[in-house]
Amino acid sequence: MRTNRRAMLFALESQYNDGSTTPDAATDALLMRSINVTPLSGSDIERSFIRPYYGNSPKAPGEKHIQAEIEFELSPSGDVGTAPAWGKVLRTCGWSEVIDTSTPGEESVTYAMVSEDEDSGVFFAHIDGNLHKGRGAHGTAQLTLNAENMPVLKVTLYALISPVTKAELPTVDLTSWVDGLAVNTVNTEKLQVFGAASPFSEFSFDQAGDVKQRKVVGANDIAITGRSPSGSFTIDDPGVDIVNFFEKSQNAETGPLKLVHGKEAGSIIEINMPSIGIESPTYADGDGVQMLSMNYAPQPVDGNDEVTIVCK
């Protein structure tokens, strides 16, 4: 058995934990950068016995779930108005998917976070000869776009467990996955923060979804119960005469953030945050150039609009 022979299939459920959805190797295979599976995540129940001698008391097994951390290259489908291959995984993290093909030349696929009726999924994680099935899966997502690196989408999935079985690795079709574009000056625009466009070296976003296994008798499911999104970036210091980030932080001001990666139709990903607050900026050095590093927190304006990811 080899650690570099792994595969995962993923499909959306028709309804939560429907018990019938089975992903297909021909249409539902994921092209991942990494996969880390925790087959039995959770805790056991302590049993405390009083006896006339020392020693451990046996434990009772508690409710367990399966956890999978997976990474993809963040790239659109290559065709405007067509959802990217990772879109269904993101939907199970509490994101909606809206496909707009109404205006030729302006087709797009937009993802925005929701606060109810989240999609759920089923995954089959093949760890060489061992097959781990996760049902009723929900998760949380992270984005990373750092200079001279590939853009990355990382998803942590939590799901109800099924018995681990022996299975041959599937023959998968990965042709729907499009190669990502490196984050650099050729492919990526400057980061726009508070209306100013600045060169940047690092950008990250963490959805920080609150995903839990409900340990209630008769309601053992994986639920999304909230989120606290945040992130960080490092930009060239524009100077306080252009944007005084120190003052904006002190005054708890908010402003927009926008990042556009890709320049040809079908390869563009646009990340929009209409209102972010920033924490105390700190100085950083980038090859002798003065830079600013700061954490930020997106805030909703009208609700469920704090972050959108648009593929176009």
Q: 3-state secondary structure string, 39-76?
A: EEEECCECCCCCCCCCCCCCCECCCEEEEEEEEEECCC
Q: What's the pLDDT score for residue 291? A: 98
Bigger pLDDT: 218 vs 257: 257
Which is it for strands 282-286 and 222-227: parallel, antiparallel or unpaired?
unpaired
Question: Average pLDDT, stretch 79-104?
Answer: 96
DSSP type of residue 45: B
Q: What's the pLDDT score for residue 300? A: 97
Q: What's the pLDDT score for residue 4? A: 81
pLDDT-derived band at 2, boundaries 50, 70, 90: confident
Question: Which amino acid, residue 97?
Answer: E
Residue of 198, 195, 161 whose CA lies nearest to 293: 198
Question: Average pLDDT, stretch 193-215?
Answer: 96
pLDDT tens by residue, 97-152: 999 999 998 999 999 999 999 999 999 999 988 999 999 999 999 999 999 999 99
DSSP string for 257-287: EEEEE--STTS-EEEEEEEEEE---EEEEET
Residue of 234, 278, 287 whose CA lies nearest to 255: 278
Quote the CA–CA distance of 239 and 211 in Å, as a whole number: 40
CA distances from 165 to 4, 126, 127, 132 (A): 19, 10, 11, 7
pLDDT-derived band at 73, boundaries 50, 70, 90: very high
Residue of 231, 237, 252, 251 whose CA lies nearest to 292: 237
pLDDT-derived band at 243, boundaries 50, 70, 90: very high
Question: Average pLDDT, stretch 70-89?
Answer: 96
Q: What's the pLDDT score for residue 42? A: 87
Does the pLDDT value for residue 254 go beyond 80? yes
pLDDT tens by residue, 173-189: 999 999 999 999 999 99
Contacts of 52 (CB under 8 A, 6+ apart): none
Q: What's the pLDDT score for residue 95? A: 98
Does the pLDDT value for residue 1 go beyond 80? no
Q: What's the pLDDT score for residue 76? A: 95
What stretches of the chain show up as alpha helix (H) in DSSP? 87-91, 245-250
If you count them, how many residues does the chain have? 312
How does the average pLDDT of the chain come out, rounded? 95
Does the pLDDT value for residue 43 go beyond 90? no
